[in-house]
Amino acid sequence: MACLFCQIASGEVAANIVYKSEGVTAFRDVAPQAPTHILVIPDRHIAGAAEVTSADEVVVGRLVRVAAEAARMEGITDRGYRLIINQGHDAGQSIDHLHVHLLGGRPLPTPLV
Ligand code: AMP
């Protein structure tokens, strides 16, 4: 079955893309949970954090760098932001393609859960 985030990475499905380079795509979440809510994904399909292998370490590190760059572009670096990866059912992962949520632009709840 076609993976939605693979289709966004390939351009087959439209998204509000804020960054695309080096095998990584960042785009605005369609149902934002904060003033800034951006998803950062590897273009190559990785189902989730549990499927990351040593061969993925460069691109997975790049996800964090791109998320930090996106946060700078959003102007939220000084006030802070949160990066989240949901893995599996209990975490509420709904799309089986690894993605980092960048959330910010308002105070975020603590503790985390
Ligand atoms: P997760 O629950 O961690 O798997 O996160 C999946 C996220 O993808 C949710 O926050 C959704 O709102 C978001 N999402 C689903 N479909 C799209 C889409 N077509 N474009 C942008 N974001 C999407």
* Predicted local distance difference test score (pLDDT) of residue 52: 98
pLDDT for 86 equals 98
C-alpha dist (Å) from residue 44 to 9, 49, 89, 91, 99: 8, 14, 22, 22, 11
Which pLDDT tens digit goes with each residue over 22-67? Answer: 999 999 999 999 999 999 999 999 999 999 999 999 999 999 999 9
- Classified by CATH at the fold level, domain 4-55+65-104 comes out as HIT family, subunit A (3.30.428)
CB of 15 shorter than 6 A to ligand 1: yes
User: What separation in Å is there between the alpha carbon of 77 and the centre of ligand 1?
Assistant: 23
State the chain's mean pLDDT as an integer.
97
d(CA 9, CA 16): 11
Of the listed 37, 89, 99, 101, which one is catalytic?
99
- Mean per-residue pLDDT, 79-97: 98
- Residue ranges covered by each domain of the chain: 4-55+65-104
Q: Rounded to the nearest 5 degrees, what angle is found at the Cα of 105, between the Cα atoms of 103 and 108?
A: 60
Query: What is the C-alpha separation between 86 and 3, in angstroms, rounded?
Result: 17
Phi/psi region, residue 112 (left: phi>0; alpha: psi -120 to 50; beta: rest), is alpha
Q: Known catalytic residue: 99?
A: yes
Give the ligand 1 atom nearest the CA of 15. Answer: 20
Residue the block writes with tokens 């994904």: 41
- pLDDT at 1 (0 to 100): 65
**Which residue is associated with the tokens 């209990």?**
90
**With a 6 A CB cut-off, is 7 part of the ligand 1 pocket?**
no
